[in-house]
Amino acid sequence: MRDVVINMQNVTVSYREDVALQNLSIEIKNGEMIGIAGPNGAGKTTILTVVNGLGRLVRGQAKVLGHLMSAGKKGRDFRLCYKTASLRKLIGYVPQGCSVDPGTPISVRDAVMLGRYGRLGFWRRPGRDDWQVVGKLLEMVEISHLAERPFGHLSGGEQQRVAIARALAQEPRIMLLDEPTTYLDWRSRQEILQLIKQVHREKGLTTLMVTHDPKDTFNFCDRVVLLQQGRVAAIGPPAKTLSDAVLRKVYGESTICCQGGFY
Ligand code: ADP
């Protein structure tokens, strides 16, 4: 039996009057690859925030890699909390794509090294071993040839590869990805999803991937969590879970479904 590494019980998170998650309970086992889908505002990103130790729980509790977070403490306290900082060292985070100014003076190699500072501490300079780790990651995500290029000169797909390598540079146990295929064309999307699956397997990670398109979870995720207004509408293996009826219920009756995805 694989260990449960993320256990959320009756988690409620709100931002002032907006309730982002309502009484949500999910268990995720070591090594699972989980897709988190649902319409805009359903609470997908907020789940990642809770796993990362930065969520403001108003009810319930979340245990992540043995670190317990419960209601009653303010988010700001969590951030200052030493235990939460040590949790975040175990978690790699790939944020939603943002465009980088082409003039930003940072090379691809240095951008990946930024991910290493969580382990190094800001007062230590990277040593030869650290540069070797970065070199191997650039190979893994197949951008060694771009190592000296300015990060801002890369295509969207290449920037996503850098973001994945940077998250891996801190040697995480859990990987969180927030809409990693947004803004990518169809081919780049498939390539990035393949890469995410490959690093998930090779690094023995537990992976949570947020996507606005449930189709992204087919062939890639062990289970999908489909959210609707902060609650779990359906959970399970994508092919069994994302029926046309379920997708119409969550995304609206006018949704035209096609093999579990939709257009
Ligand atoms: P999703 O990722 O599914 O689009 P989010 O988790 O980002 O959803 O947001 C869930 C709800 O919480 C939404 O109603 C959103 O407006 C609200 N919300 C998210 N972040 C904040 C914030 N920093 N301040 C106020 N409200 C927020």
Shared domain for 181 and 123, answered yes or no, is no
Q: What are the phi and psi torsion angles at 73 (to 5°)? A: -100, 140
Question: Number of structural domains, the chain?
Answer: 2
In a domain, 195, yes or no: no
Is 258 a member of any domain? Answer: yes
* 2 and 76 part of one domain: yes
Nearest residue by C-alpha to atom 11 in ligand 1: 20
Domain boundary among 129, 146, 171: 171
For residue 30, pLDDT beyond 70:
yes
Q: Which residue lies with its CA nearest to atom 22 of ligand 1?
A: 15
Q: How far apart are CA 146 and CA 109, in angstroms?
A: 8
Q: Give me ligand 1 centre to Cα 89, in Å.
A: 24
**What does the alpha-carbon distance between residue 171 and residue 116 come to, in Å, rounded to a whole number?**
8
Query: 9 and 70: one domain?
Result: yes
Residue nearest to atom 26 of ligand 1 (CA): 15
Residue in 14, 18, 251 to alter for ligand 1 test, most ligand atoms within 8 A of Cβ: 18
Residue 194 in domain? no
Are 30 and 84 in the same domain? yes
On whether the CB atoms of residues 230 and 24 are closer than 8 A, the answer is yes
User: What distance in Å separates the CA atoms of residue 159 and residue 96, rounded to the nearest whole number?
Assistant: 11
Pocket flag, ligand 1, residue 223 (CB < 6 Å)? no
Beta-strand ranges (E) seen in the chain are 4-15, 18-29, 33-37, 57-64, 67-70, 91-94, 174-178, 206-210, 223-228, 231-236, 257-258, 261-262
Residue 10 shares a structural domain with residue 80: yes
> What distance in angstroms lies between residue 20's CA and the mean position of ligand 1's atoms?
6
In this prediction, residue 82 has a pLDDT band, given cuts at 50, 70 and 90, of low
Q: How many CB atoms lie within 10 A of CB 52?
A: 17
For 62-73, how does the pLDDT look when each residue is reduced to its tens digit (9 = 90+)?
A: 999 999 988 865
Query: Could you tell me if residue 4 is left (phi over 0), alpha (psi between -120 and 50 degrees) or otherwise beta?
Result: beta
Residue identifier of the C-alpha nearest atom 7 of ligand 1: 45
Q: Is residue 161 domain-shared with residue 140, that is, in the same domain? A: yes
20 lines ligand 1 (CB under 6 A): yes
DSSP 8-class letter at 263: -
Name the residue range of residue 218's domain.
Answer: 1-90+174-185+205-263
Backbone angles phi, psi at 190, to 5 degrees: -60, -40
- Tens-place pLDDT, residues 142-189: 999 999 999 989 988 999 999 999 999 999 999 999 999 988 888 999
Torsion angle of the four alpha carbons 48, 54, 55, 60, in this order, in degrees rounded to the nearest 10: 100
Which pLDDT band holds residue 88 (cuts at 50, 70, 90)?
A: confident
